[in-house]
Each structure stands twice: as C-alpha cells, then as structure tokens.
Amino acid sequence: MIRFLVRRLVLTIPVLLGVATLVFALMHLIPGDPAQAMLGETAAEEDIAALRARLGLDRPLSVQYGRFLRGAVGGDLGTSLRTGEPVADAIVARLPATFELAVAALLVALGVAIPLGILAAVRQGTLVDHGATAVALAGVSIPNFWLGPLLAIVFAVELGWLPVSGRGTVAHLVLPAITLGTALTAVLARMTRASLVEELRKPYVQAARARGASRTRAVLRHALPNSLIPVVTLVGLQCGAVLGGAVITETIFAWPGVGRLLVQSIGFRDYPMVQGCVLLIAVIYVGVNLVVDLAYGLLDPRIRYT
C-alpha cells in the first residue's frame, strides 16, 4: 500500500506541472491586456506601461513562468491583479462554497442514480427499465447551462418556491445542486444498471439464491457491492466534470464559489487568480482519483496493492 501511494504521488508531479504550464500558456495567449482592463480604454499609454511594470507583466514570459512555478511549489500563488489580495487567500475563502455545492450534487446524483440503476437492472426489459433508460438519456442530453435557467424560471420566478441566487440556506442549494447533479445522475444510473445486470448473471448470485437467500438479499448483499467498482471509478472520473460544471452553475446562480471566481478572473485577465483556480481544480481531481483507487480494496478484497 505504501509503495502504491508513493508511486501515485510521484506520478502526479508531471500531471500538475503539465496543467500549470498549459494554463499559463493559454492565459497569455488570450487577447487583451490586464493593465488596460484595470485602467480602462481611455487610459494613457504611459499609465498602462507603468502599471504593467509594477505588476511584472513587462518581464519576459520565461521569467514570469519561473516565478509562477517557484511560488506554486512553495504554496504562494501570487497576488490578484484585480483586487491586490493573495490568490491563495481568495481561493480558500471561496472553497467551502464550491465543496458544499459539489457534495450536494454528488449526493443528489448517488441518491437517485443508485436506486434507479438497481430498479432498472432487477426489472430488466420491462417498462420500468425502459423508463429509467429514457430518464437517464434525457439527463445526459440536457446541458446545465440550459437546465439551470429553466429551473430558476420555473421554481424561483414563476412559482416562487426557491431563491434564484446566492448562498445561505438549504433552499439556496437546491436548484444549483440539481442542475449540477443531473448529468452525473444519468451517467451513474446507466453504469449501475449495466454493471449490476452483468453481476446478476454470474454463478455466485445463483448459488446464493440456491442456498435460500432472498432475491433482495442476493441483489443487495452479493451482487451490488461487486457491481459498484466501475461506478466508483466513474464517480472519480466525473469529479472533474462536476468541478467543470460548477463553473457554469455557480455563474448562473451567483453562487460564491471558486468557479464563479474563475469566470470573473478570466474576464479581468487576472492571470494569477486564473492560474491558481485551475491548479487547485487539478489538485482536487488528482486527489479524488487517488482516493477512488484506494476505495477499490474496500469494495473488493480480491484487489491488492503492491
């Protein structure tokens, strides 16, 4: 186990380095000057040049890149060009909101997808199965940038049941969590169904039934745990999609998280803030996938780490 952890941690170094390099390059390829965006279109060239020098934007890209990497390794992500506050402090302040939304979306997805997948697998070929498949396909097909405004119009504007934006109560969390979790629900439901159908056909399930186990026990106690391994893998892979979807969802519902901070920073050409947000998302994604790998051993004792 220790060797496995060390090997995986070492492999994350080139991944994070590649992400940092890519986001640095892409940000500097985006048209626009942060100094001019801060001072306005009518600012004098001398003022723009002075601000660029003060922010270090007049230095060669290689120097800026080296400074960014050195700071990232030491935990210093730089200072926001827009607000002047440390990037790490701004991200830490927004991180709880993003975690809250991501966890809520995962709970919505798992709470709906697992029972729906089990029901579809047990009733394979029936109207229940076809209905569950249709719901899953609809969930995959609906983009969150369309679903979010639709839910806001129906449940916040027309019916007045839920708040349309902001954060503070559970009611504020409902619409963003459903918007972010819908696509994941559909994907997980289809995976749960397919994996459970395959497990139900295996001899050990039939043997459990022959020993007198009820159908419910054979499904939940014997087949379901083994069928969850690909589901857990998919959850880990979809964490990146959840974080990426949070950028859009947080913007739609004015949710004060890292995703909304990222969008605002891109608009202002705030290089350090954008680089810090993207690097954080990459670190979380890599960490979640490491946890998923370790969870395999708990779900299936046949898996051993060397």
Tens-digit pLDDT profile for residues 145-181: 888 889 889 988 888 888 888 887 888 889 999 988 8
Per-residue pLDDT at 301: 60
**Burial label, 36 (beta-carbon count in 10 A; 0-12, 13-18, 19+):** middle
Mind giving me the DSSP string for the chain? -HHHHHHHHHHHHHHHHHHHHHHHHHHHHSSS-HHHHHH-TT--HHHHHHHHHHHTTTS-HHHHHHHHHHHHHTT---B-TTT-SBHHHHHHHHHHHHHHHHHHHHHHHHHHHHHHHHHHHHTTTSHHHHHHHHHHHHHHHS-HHHHHHHHIIIIIIIS--S-SS--SSHHHHHHHHHHHHHHHHHHHHHHHHHHHHHHHTSHHHHHHHHTT--HHHIIIIIIHHHHHHHHHHHHHHHHHHHHHHHHHHHHHTT--SHHHHHHHHHHTT-HHHHHHHHHHHHHHHHHHHHHHHHHHHHH-TT----
**CA gap 271, 225 in Å, rounded:** 45
Per-residue pLDDT at 141: 81
Q: Residue 287 — pLDDT band, cuts 50, 70, 90?
A: confident
Instruction: Match 């020098």 to its residue by tokens.
Output: 53
Number of domains in the chain: 1
81, part of any domain: no
71, part of any domain: no
Most confident of 94-108, 134-148, 275-289: 94-108
Per-residue pLDDT at 143: 83
Interval 14-43 mean pLDDT: 76
Closest listed residue to residue 145, CA positions, set 111, 182, 100 = 182
Q: What is the pLDDT of residues 69-126, one digit of tens each?
A: 888 777 777 788 778 788 888 888 998 998 898 889 988 888 888 888 888 888 877 8
Say if residue 299's pLDDT is above 80.
Answer: no
304, part of any domain: no
Q: What is the CATH number of the domain that holds 260?
A: 1.10.3720.10
Which domain range does residue 173 map to?
98-299
C-alpha dist (Å) from residue 151 to 67, 81, 180, 262, 266: 44, 35, 12, 23, 26
C-alpha dist (Å) from residue 194 to 43, 156, 188, 222, 229: 61, 36, 10, 16, 12
Interval 268-294 mean pLDDT: 80
**CA gap 157, 173 in Å, rounded:** 16
19, part of any domain: no
Per-residue pLDDT at 1: 64
Per-residue pLDDT at 123: 80
137, part of any domain: yes
Q: Residue 302 — pLDDT band, cuts 50, 70, 90?
A: low
**Angle, helix 258-267 to helix 271-299, in steps of 10 degrees:** 150
The pair phi, psi for residue 293, each rounded to 5°, is -60, -40
Q: What is the pLDDT of residues 181-236, one digit of tens each?
A: 888 888 888 888 888 888 777 777 777 777 777 777 777 776 777 787 788 778 77
Residues with Cβ within 8 Å of 142's Cβ and at least 6 positions away in sequence, in order, are 182, 183
Say if residue 289's pLDDT is above 80.
Answer: no
46, part of any domain: no
pTM exceeding the 0.85 threshold for the entire prediction: no
90, part of any domain: no
Closest listed residue to residue 106, CA positions, set 301, 273, 236 = 236
236, part of any domain: yes
**CA gap 88, 71 in Å, rounded:** 11
Q: Residue 303 — pLDDT band, cuts 50, 70, 90?
A: low
Provide the β-strand partners of residue 86. 79
Per-residue pLDDT at 61: 79
Q: Residue 22 — pLDDT band, cuts 50, 70, 90?
A: confident
Say if residue 300's pLDDT is above 70.
Answer: no
Q: Which two tokens stand for residue 260?
A: 């909304």
| Whole-number percent of the chain with pLDDT over 90 | 0
